[in-house]
Structure 1
Amino acid sequence: MPHHPPTASTVGLPPARQFADLVPLTNRQRVLTLALPFGYAAAYFGFAALGWWVPAVAMLMGLSFVTYGSTSHDLVHANLGLRRGMNDFFLSIIELLALRSGHAYRLAHLHHHARYPAPDDIEGAAAGMSLFGALCEGVIYNFKLYFWALRHALDDKRWVRLEGLACVLIVALAGVLAALGHPVLLIYGGLMLLGSWLLPLITSYIPHRPREQNVLWQTRLFRGRVASLVAAEHLYHLEHHLYPAIPHHHWPQLAKRLDPYFAQQGVEPTTLGF
């Protein structure tokens, strides 16, 4: 099986420059993308303070989605048009909202793009597991990814260490506050960790097929209204592997423009009902 990620040039698809118009974002898109995680976190604490736990939990579900899969993901690829220092700052702070190391995420994710489906692809490892194995992987995933990043980080090692320390301090503060009768932060941390438990299943096991010989089949092509609704127009994993410089805002447009090429290559889409 080839250990080469699919790229447009190697699979007969258009060069990235053909989609250059999908790379820029408006200031409004950029600001909203960066603000959403903070808005969700603030809304959680507001609802929790009022004792409205159903909407509070819903806010954390939204936060889990926009961090790893949306805002943080664009920051990992530097797709928001920010300067390097500002990009690093927001990546760190926004992933800390989910009690994760943003720079560990970046190291592992960019390694995934470079190495999938090689055996040393830590982020994509769950793709080769059973469903039960992928669920079990979620229990240790954040810790596994963090210590992997510590071993492999070069320029980012200081970031990874500081982010790990910040996570420990947040958890310690949550424990102290809970002992004093204020459990809101501890519940926040527990729910965010629970949300991270599903990451290997959602980001690796479901979208990937590492045993396929054709690199265009090693990542599923999702289509259909149900898939779009369930994933809030984010289930464009193959398109992202092929054109990682395009921010998530423009994935639906990219998908429409690529459909004729996928049809020519015989790539059959996976649909969730219709």
Structure 2
Amino acid sequence: MELQAILHKVQWKDLKKLSTLEMLIENNISVPWLIASLFCAWKGWYLAALPFSAFYFLTALRQVHNGFHNSLGTNKFLTWLTLYLNSISMMASIHAVKFNHIRHHKYCLSEEDYEGKSASMSWYGAILYGPVHMFLIHKITLKHANKNYVRNVWLEMISIAVVTTVIIWLKIPFLIYHIIVMVIGELLMAFFAVWTVHHDTHEQPELARTQRGGIKNWLTFSMFYHLEHHLFPAVPTIKLPELAKRLDECIPELEKKTTF
């Protein structure tokens, strides 16, 4: 089925609007996990901190991803602030990630899609490619983005460097732990955020992989409804389960490749 036929058949525009509760959830979903992670690390319980750190990284990614598409329900400054603060806590310039993610939607899996390069690799190749992926994300933004993007990327990278230097200089163990875990998370982005949802979809790049099943989507905070996201990127993550239901009802014959 042609993409335009899908877009016209599914009712989705009402899903763009967030209630006050939904807006609060989308803008604060990562906070409890960050607090739990830092508390456990502060107490020296590093193994206990790891799952909380992983859930923080995942929910922070969900939060900034909604920010990329102006789907947090907040004004321009608060959305910018979300991206800036999460840059410092996630150890990467989120505006650099945003620039490449918007290009990813425009040039999905083509030569111009630098975010999507790992989709054509093997799973282990995507993991090994992780450091190159993160380097290119920043390099491409500084080379091709407009002045606002470049200014934000430099601000975020300098802020990260300053915060990291202070933490290491003061020798704060639980924050050093956080930095290490976040860097590892960033180095795995090419696998988790790209390969898992786009491998073997090059024939129809707009039809990304997706995930069905309540438990799996609950554990991944609805981040693997990627087919739905690519078809309707303006829909906030919290509304993707409803969008998936509508898609299944309207176009049951649509091929849905599973994420995992």
**How does the TM-score come out when normalised to structure 2?**
0.90
Structure 1 unaligned segments of length 5 or more: list them: 1-7
- Asked if structure 1 preserves the Cα contact closer than 8 Å seen for 2:224 and 2:259, the reply is no
For residues 24-54 of structure 1, give each alpha carbon's deviation from its aligned partner in whole angstroms, at most 9, with x where no partner exists.
Answer: 1122222232223333333333222222323
Deviations 1:34-79 (A, max 9, x none): 22333333333322222232332222111110112x1111011110
Match of 1:3 in 2: none
Query: In the alignment, which residue of structure 2 is the partner of 1:243?
Result: 232
Alignment correspondent of 1:194: 184
CA distance in 1, matches of 2:134, 2:224: 22
Is 2:137 the counterpart of 1:145? yes
Report the residue type matching 1:161 in the other structure. Answer: W
1:164 to 2:157 alignment: yes
Q: Is the 8 A contact 1:72 1:95 kept in 2?
A: no
Amino acid aligned to 2:159: A
Name the SS of the counterpart of 2:114 in structure 1. coil
- Give the secondary structure class of the aligned counterpart of 2:74: coil
Alignment match, 1:136 = 128
Percent of residue pairs identical = 25
Contact 2:40 2:49 in 1 (8 A): yes
Q: Which runs of 5+ in 2 are unaligned?
A: none
CA distance in 2, matches of 1:233, 1:201: 17
Separation of aligned partners in 2, 1:35 and 1:187: 22
Provide the C-alpha distance between the structure 2 equivalents of 1:135 and 1:271, rounded to a whole number of angstroms: 16
Q: Distance in 1 between matches of 2:167 and 2:139?
A: 23
Alignment of 1:89-238 (within 5 A): 89-154=81-146, 155-178=148-171, 182-209=172-199, 212-215=202-205, 217=207, 219-225=208-214, 227-238=216-227
Per-residue deviation at 1:139? 2.5
Of 102-111 and 18-27, more deviation after overlay is shown by 18-27
Q: Of 226, 242, 248, which aligns to 1:259?
A: 248
Tell me the amino acid that sits aligned with residue 149 of structure 2. Answer: D
Q: Are 2:233 and 1:270 aligned? A: no
Residue 198 to residue 30, structure 1, CA distance change in 2 (3 Å): same
| CA apart distance, 1:268 | 4.2
Q: Distance in 2 between matches of 1:39 and 1:96?
A: 17
Equivalent residue for 1:85, pick from 77, 80, 93: 77
Q: How many residues align?
A: 259
Q: C-alpha separation between the residues in 1 aligned to 2:259 and 2:182?
A: 29
Task: Note if contact 2:100-2:141 (Cα within 8 Å) is conserved in structure 1.
Answer: yes
Mapping 1:59-70, distance limit 5 Å: 59-68=52-61, 70=62
CA–CA distance in structure 2, aligned partners of residues 164 and 141 of structure 1? 16
- Once residues 207 and 100 of structure 1 are traced to their aligned partners in structure 2, the CA distance between those partners, rounded to angstroms, is 21
Mark the CA change 1:207 to 1:146 in structure 2 (over 3 Å): closer, same or farther: same
